[in-house]
Structure formats: C-alpha cells, structure tokens
C-alpha cells in the first residue's frame, strides 16, 4: 500500500516524510514517498497534502504543477483513495479561502477559511504552539486520541465548515478553532501531526491503516 506526500514547494516535507516512514515501518503499511509526479499520485493508495504559508500561494503552487491537482482529485474524489490534508493542505479542501484575497478552494468539504479573531485581545495571532484537542465526534483517525491530548499549531486562519457534521475536533483560543475536519475518505488537520509527538504519530498510524 503506497502512500505519497505531495511536493509542490509548500510544506514541511522532510519532517513529514520521516514521521510517516517511521509509522509505516512500525505498522507494516508499505512505502512512503514524496512526489510531484502525477502518474505516481494516480497509482498511490493514500495521498497526503501538506501546506505551509498563505492559502492563495499554496493553491497557485499546486496549480502550477501541471496535472498534479487533476491526478490527486481523480484518485481522491473519483476513486475514493484515503486523503489527509495538513494545515493549509486541509484548508484548501474548503470552498473559499479569505486570506488577503478571495481564492477558490477545492470545494471538497463546504466551508470558508477565515481569520482567527480571539475574543480575548491578549491572545496572540498567529495561534502558535501546543493546544488541547476537544474531540467533537468519533473518527477512525482519532482512535486512541482523546479530548485533552496535545497537538501543535502554527496558523492565523482556520476553516469554518458549512456542515457542523464535518467538524471532527476543535481547540479553544479565545473561541473555538477548527482542529480537524472530515467526511467519507477525506480528513484534514489544522495542526501538524509530524510535530505533535505522541498524538501526531498515533494519527499518522491510524491514517496508514484507514480503510474508509
């Protein structure tokens, strides 16, 4: 079962690759590689889309890799391959991103990516560092992860899903901040599992064995 992490010049690929390879070795999940080749993506059994930076820049960077988005969408949406979006890779599943300008997302999970506006002005944005997860609904990728477990965040915007049923987990930062979303074979985390130690490694292992 081959897992690919997409390379489109946006994402912490080295640490992500090491974390996924570590858990693949522990679980016998098969090879994990980084690729920007559409044919490799088309053959993959699982797809991971990282993302760091501004929504519009990530969307443009992905579009600039000829055929990469199309191969990913065909594998994920038409053929049902398990998909994990990380940080902006999760946000791009939304309908729209509102970071600096309005940018069309994939529209895989309805909703908008909006600026974090804490009710307490003492709370800083970007929302950076460790925070306690609140699990809103059970999910296979959160097996073994509980409310109160820590995850690592670095972001100024978050996704607001149109359907509350797609909100899997949140954290509090002067109000609720989306931490994980999902439906069907799609899952996304605003936090970085590759930087979230025990919690993140458990989620990665769960993804590598996920059969939605």
Residue 155 annotated to the active site: no
Q: Looking up tokens 């897992």, which residue turns up?
A: 3
Give the span between the Cα atoms of 11 and 148, in whole angstroms. 27
Q: Which helix (H) or strand (E) holds 73?
A: helix 68-73
For Cα atoms 121, 126, 128, give the angle at the middle one, nearest 5 degrees.
110
CA 11 to chain centre: 11
Residue 166 annotated to the active site: no
The β-bridge relationship of strands 83-86 and 186-189 is parallel
Residue 58 annotated to the active site: no
Tell me the helices (H) and strands (E) count for the chain, helix number first: 6, 14
Contacts of 163 (CB under 8 A, 6+ apart): 110, 111
Q: Which of 58, 87, 158, 166 is catalytic?
A: 87
Give the span between the Cα atoms of 204 and 39, in whole angstroms. 24
Q: Which of 158, 166, 173, 192 is catalytic?
A: 192
What SS3 state is found at 106?
Answer: coil
Active-site positions read 87, 192, 194
């Amino acid at each position: 079962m081959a897992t690919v992490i997409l390379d489109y010049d946006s994402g912490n690929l080295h640490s992500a690759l090491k974390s996924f390879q570590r858990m693949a070795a522990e679980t016998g999940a098969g090879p994990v590689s980084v690729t920007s080749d559409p044919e490799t993506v088309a053959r993959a059994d699982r797809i991971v889309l990282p993302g760091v930076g501004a929504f519009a820049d990530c969307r443009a960077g992905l579009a600039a890799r000829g055929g990469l988005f199309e191969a990913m969408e065909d594998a994920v949406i038409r053929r049902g391959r398990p998909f994990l979006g990380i940080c902006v890779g999760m946000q791009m599943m939304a309908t729209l991103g509102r970071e600096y300008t309005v940018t069309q997302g994939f529209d895989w999970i309805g909703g908008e990516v909006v600026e974090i506006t804490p009710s307490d002005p003492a709370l800083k944005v970007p929302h950076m560092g460790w925070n306690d997860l609140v699990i809103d609904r059970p999910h296979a990728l959160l097996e073994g992860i509980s409310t109160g477990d820590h995850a690592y965040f670095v972001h100024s915007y978050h996704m607001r899903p149109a359907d509350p049923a797609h909100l899997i987990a949140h954290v509090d930062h002067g109000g609720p901040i989306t931490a994980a979303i999902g439906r069907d074979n799609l899952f996304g985390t605003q936090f970085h599992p590759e930087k979230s130690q025990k919690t993140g490694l458990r989620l990665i292992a769960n993804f590598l064995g996920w059969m939605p």
